[in-house]
Amino acid sequence: MPDGRVYKELARLISRLSREWSTDNFEPHVTLLGGLLDSEEAISSRTSQLATWIRPYEINLTAVDYLDEFFRCLFLRVERTESMMDAHLKARRLFKQRRDPKHLPHLSLMYGNFAPAIKERIITKIGRESNWRFRVGAIHVYSTTGKPSDWFRVKEFTLK
């Protein structure tokens, strides 16, 4: 999760897009691993262990893109660095998740179902290229039950 200036700028952009297009507002984040169905206690315990295995690393946000998917409606691509992919792999192993061929590191800007022409219009307005970067120093566990506006942070684990 970004912090400081990068967090504020991305949160402002996400909020503006959610108002302009009547979509859910949410905190800027890059999902390390999703779809965890275990108990909150088990997830927290494993994440605590995971945080000791991962060193802080940089995330580089490269370009705005989109897919024909609700949660990847409009997003910033994340550069696939060795340290970022290593963190994902360690998380997958610890949580016993199989390889995910659809794993696409990204930071969402907007959720929804919009035509490609609308997404291109938004990209023209906000710009395609990005030079945002931030240091990942913690893993945040979120409850993602319900709508994105209902999501909340359960716990934060500092990387060693």
**Cα–Cα distance for residue pair 104/121, rounded to 1 Å:** 23
Crossing angle (nearest 10°) for helices 40-53 and 82-94: 140
pLDDT digits (tens, 9 = 90+) for 72-126: 999 999 999 999 999 999 999 999 988 776 788 999 999 999 999 999 999 999 9
Give the CATH number of the domain where residue 52 resides. Answer: 3.90.1140.10
**Cα–Cα distance for residue pair 70/54, rounded to 1 Å:** 30
Q: Quickly tell me which residue has 């994340």 as its tokens.
A: 78
Q: Which residues of 106-127 are buried (b: 16+ CB within 10 A; e: fewer)?
A: bbbbbbbebeeeebeebbeeee
- The secondary element (H helix, E strand) that includes residue 155 is strand 152-158
Specify the higher pLDDT residue, 1 or 69.
Answer: 69
Phi, psi of 6 (to 5 degrees): -65, -45
> Would you state the pLDDT for residue 98?
80
Domains contained in the chain, number: 1
Q: What is the pTM of this model?
A: 0.90
**Parent domain of 115:** 4-158
Contact 63, 130 (CB under 8 A): yes
Provide the percentage of residues in the chain whose pLDDT is more than 90.
78
